[in-house]
Amino acid sequence: MVEKQKTKEREFIVDCIHLYRELPALWNIKSKEYHDRDKKNTAYETLLEKYKEMFPDATKDDLKKKFNSLRANYLKEFKKTPPVNEIRVCCRRYTYIKSSLRYYREMAFLEAHECAADSQSTMDKSQSVQCYRIAGFHNY
């Protein structure tokens, strides 16, 4: 019974991640919506409405904490991925990796965002954490 509830919760979180992906105002710093406070608040309300289906007492702060945690964990795992031949190739070249992170594949849309942020770095190439990702299957 407990395992069934966990599975249901995991599937629900995946659904929420898919909705989050559709709301660039919450995660894409290059998006005009990201810098528009009203659009960002509207996006949070949309996501919170979905999130409350499973967690009825959730607040906007709870939602922010959850997604900040998901993002931080994804990015930590993302940066662990080793370079291929010391050349890091950026964005949307996928193959398999084994990640212990449960939602790694679902959060992979952040890859392009992270690659763009890395490519704008002012550090020299030897210091920079450059982009190379092997992210798994995606439904693009």
DSSP for 48-116 reads HHHHTTT-TT--HHHHHHHHHHHHHHHHHHHHHSPPBTTBPPPSS-------S-TTTTTTTTHHHHHHH
76: nearest Cα among 46, 38, 103: 103
pLDDT value of position 37 = 94
Nearest-angstrom CA–CA distance, 56 and 20: 18
- Torsion angles phi and psi, residue 112, rounded to 5: -60, -40
The amino acid at 89: V
Q: Evaluate if residue 8 carries a pLDDT over 50.
A: yes
The tens digit of pLDDT for each residue in 51-63 reads 999 999 999 999 9
Is the pTM higher than 0.85? The answer reads no
29 to 86, 99, 117: CA distances (angstroms) = 28, 26, 9
The tens digit of pLDDT for each residue in 61-118 reads 999 999 999 999 988 888 877 655 433 445 444 444 566 778 888 888 887 655 545 4
The distance of Cα 37 from the centroid of its chain, to the nearest Å, equals 20
